[in-house]
Chain A
Amino acid sequence: MVTGPETAPAGISVPVTATGAARLHLAIFAVALALALAAPFFLYPVFLMKVLCFALFASAFNLLLGYGGLLSFGHAAYFGSASYVAAHAAKVWGLTPELAILLGTGAAAVLGVVFGALAIRRQGIYFAMVTLAFAQMVYFFSLQAPFTGGEDGIQSVPRGRLFGMISLGPDINLYFFVLAIVVGGLLLIYRIIHSPFGQVLKAIRDNEPRAVSLGYRANRYKLAVFVMSATLAGLAGATKALVFQLASLTDVYWTMSGEVVLITLLGGMGTVFGPIVGAAIVVTMQNYFAGFGAWVTVIQGTIFVIGVLLFREGVVGILARWLRRPL
């Protein structure tokens, strides 16, 4: 009467307990943090800060795509508008950097609530198109609005003094400030993924009708994760504005939305460390291939195509499969 073996076949059972995986992740975080603390003494801090900002941006995006199953093609809207608001707040209103970043992040959160509430009514490709349309609206608004500086953007944004005391002018000071923000953001994302809420999110991603049939009001969870993702993308964008002392149309353009998709897929969507690795790869590529001029995009595109063809799970996804550990 009973078919199949009574015990789980080897290899497909999950040998790692949740706590075991958590310990491994903690160890990786600790090593990465140690490297990040030492890195500015060996590498150019502004380059490192760019990697950090994009790591946070891509991780925020991955929260939505990899764990919420929602492909937004308009995440530049939150990244870029937070960048503008933070830049404006720091330059025109003379706010301290932490307040400017907070304000920028808040603006992204508000946008996330409005756009998210409308976009989650659609599924799949339609969801992606709606988010893209909203992002394009933000782009054209940024092009026309008086305070964004149009084609010039908001330039020479003051880095200011943290809490009005510590000058963030020197790159090394700013680096540790940015590192603190990004590590905080990444830890928050990690917690969201590994929370009771995160479990429900994964269930909805895996099989939405089933989650609904179990009594979960799926749209509320989707909206919640959308807003979280938009807010954290905003945090990355606002921080970036201070690093480069610039908020420009590049930050809200659709190519920025595309770039974050690329980073996430290259690193490994649905993995904790994938977006971070992806950001390091893509930003490094952009930096070191800068000499090729317009060809950077072509090289980037080629690498992306090869990446998708050869390892669809992304760099970290492949590693996770080899190690048989969730990463």
Chain B
Amino acid sequence: MTDRRPRAAGGEVSIGQDVLVARGLTREFSGFVAVDGVDLSVRKESIHALIGPNGAGKTTCFNLLTRFLEPTRGSIVYDGRDITRMAAADVARLGMVRSFQISAVFPNMTALENVRIALQRGRGDSFDFWRSDRVLSRYNDRALALLDEVGLGAFAGTAAWALPYGRKRALEIATTLALEPQMLLLDEPMAGMAQEDIERISQLIRRIARGRTILMVEHNLSVVSSLSDTITVLARGKVLAEGDYDAISRDERVIEAYIGAAHA
């Protein structure tokens, strides 16, 4: 609560405060400990990356934080609220929205409809089965604006399955932004992407990070180094090191466990 700066959206938020805090987070799968006593604090309005070699428990950690998995032990506090036992959908309603490793779109719906699904939620008409879906056209302007923002304006009427991979990820981000989340958890946003797409999504992430907190799992180290404020390195389910990219890249344990192995 020390330093205050005006947010892009107009409101004021405190900087330097932790928005997501996990303590002693542990998940066991029948004898195998995938995540082992992880302590993690994500500062408000920072971009925080979670890296580590394959099998380090990054995705499990992610699933625990977003409540898609039940932790065996430990606690998770989001925005001052204990969410350790909360339902995944309710966590999303608090403003912490996740993405998935495999691009998560609704394939049989158009790009516009994909975004509208997010806009429609919370407006209280999602159970209205007796009304025509024409009432949803009132979300069209906002949905189109969001699609434009990620460069998908021309694809509004295209079925999501027909979009190229990079565009699917952009659509996913537009859908997520429609919820105006305070915090985004991105699970390998660059996985399987061509270099040009990586550029585009990187810029997009930097843009949407204004006024928001982002926690992401990412393999691409150049992306991590250019985007993130803080990096947490996981190895064998435990936190190995934490700090900015320079500190992490000099850490011998990290070089041995992760970067060294990657360059071997």
Contacts and interface: CB of A to CB of B under 8 A. Distances in A.
Interface of A: 1-4, 6-9, 12-15, 18-19, 191-192, 194-200, 202-203, 206-207, 209-218, 220-221, 224, 228
A195 B128 contact: yes
Nearest to B98: A213
A195 B158 contact: no
Chain B interface size, under 10 / 10 to 19 / 20 to 34 / 35 or more: 35 or more
Contacts, number: 146
A214 B134 contact: no
Given A7-B154, A214-B118, A217-B89, A200 B126 contact: yes
B100 A14 contact: no
A214 B164 contact: no
Given A213-B88, A216-B121, A196 B135 contact: yes
Nearest to A214: B118
B104 A210 contact: yes
B118 to A, nearest CB: 5
A213 B100 contact: yes
B164 A3 contact: yes
A195 B199 contact: no
B250 interface: no
B97 A214 contact: yes
A199 B197 contact: no
Given A4-B166, A213-B66, 18 more contacts: A13-B158, A13-B162, A14-B110, A195-B129, A195-B132, A196-B120, A196-B125, A197-B126, A199-B113, A199-B133, A200-B126, A202-B108, A202-B109, A206-B106, A214-B117, A215-B89, A217-B87, A220-B127
Given A8-B155, A207-B105, A191 B129 contact: yes
B11 interface: no
Interface-centre pick from A3, A19, A218 (highest chain B CB count, 10 A): A3
Contacts of A210: 100, 104-106
A192 B132 CA distance: 8
B133 A18 contact: yes
A2 B158 contact: no
A203 B109 contact: yes
B196 interface: yes
A199 B120 contact: yes
